[in-house]
Structure 1
């Protein structure tokens, strides 16, 4: 079975791998959540989004201007759906899984943003994702210029100057480096960022089987990336799959930089030692 065939049920993920357009970002995010919840039913989450759209359709239509539409949207999402960020959200992978975010109201910036965008776009409000450094945001082109919305901070609205100043204070990056990151990003890059968040969380807690499930997806989304292939090889070994790791490590050794060769050779020796034990 090929690597891609292992995800044959994940139609939106496969579309991302093939770099197709019009990917359903919510479903793609739920496909990731299903890795940790094999019996996950997408329908309750999708129904909650449809219900929100239905309740907002008339008020949005009567709003009068794009700024008022945005404010009505944010009020509903923060009050009726109780969507908000919380410092503890960063400590749990559930904050990345849209079904849990919709149930609890708590999420991290990117998962909350995906929900904001899904509902907004169904209402004709072209809210876009913004892969800002350290903190994912959304943006909207209004008659008065581009505004930035932070779902994690209760839907706070900022103009570009305010957004850059806030990110500068948060990250200490030069303002000149922040400006280029404030452009709308793609569905594929959003999913990659969600996966990297999970990779970081699971790796920091030594949950290597969970890291392995995430890393398989990252390697497929970036097939030309040596780093992702190398990480998959190492994680596969740590996840207790030495037989698979041998092939992956040998492939990496054929193209690795000299500084990594000794480390990869040690991993390969370890994999060969462990492999007979699992036969």
Structure 2
């Protein structure tokens, strides 16, 4: 690339200047739109110890985009020892995404528990209470409390994928005690529905609908609450049909209802009964 193009590339993509294999990999990835070619340069950067922290992470992300997630997992496992201590947390986050992509639930659970242990031992965020992260291209502050709740939420979701809804419930409740939000509330409600604890699930969903949790006003959250309530209604009779003594929806009762509905559905005169009576009376007067 010429000098002006090189300057624009470094400024816009925040890539260090130079002509090493890592810079060439980023140029292939971002400018040339050649992901396969960028992987070749990323490998070269790793082998030559050129910005290994970034090279390994960026290569894994590109591999995931190319549906080479298994290969990316092996690359991180094999070469993360070359990376600095500060890079390990971000590599774990990339690994979690790769495990999700491959459906490796057990591996997710092990890694998430490991992250919780690091939080407990004060090793996450490199010992600081707050870290700077990026969300949708913007820099945000993440507290250790928020991160703990996020990790617990991910652990709860992993347990749900395994069908261990009791474990997921415990984890989600702990996460909500630390830092509650509408997404984890909906997941907790789903756990309770799976355990046929419908009243508890409905209570939580109604709280989300009333805006009692962070993120309750989000359109996606509203849609999800509606979906879960519909699922609840399909599994639990409406309140006005519950706890009625002697109500047993057996075959005879259902057949009787069908017969009644069919009677209602029969075509009748468009005139209401009162008009039928008036019409007859008028005919008598005409005589």
Same-fold call, TM cutoff 0.5? no
More helix by share: 2
**Which bin holds the TM-score, normalised by the shorter protein?**
0.3 to 0.5
The structure with the larger Rg is 2
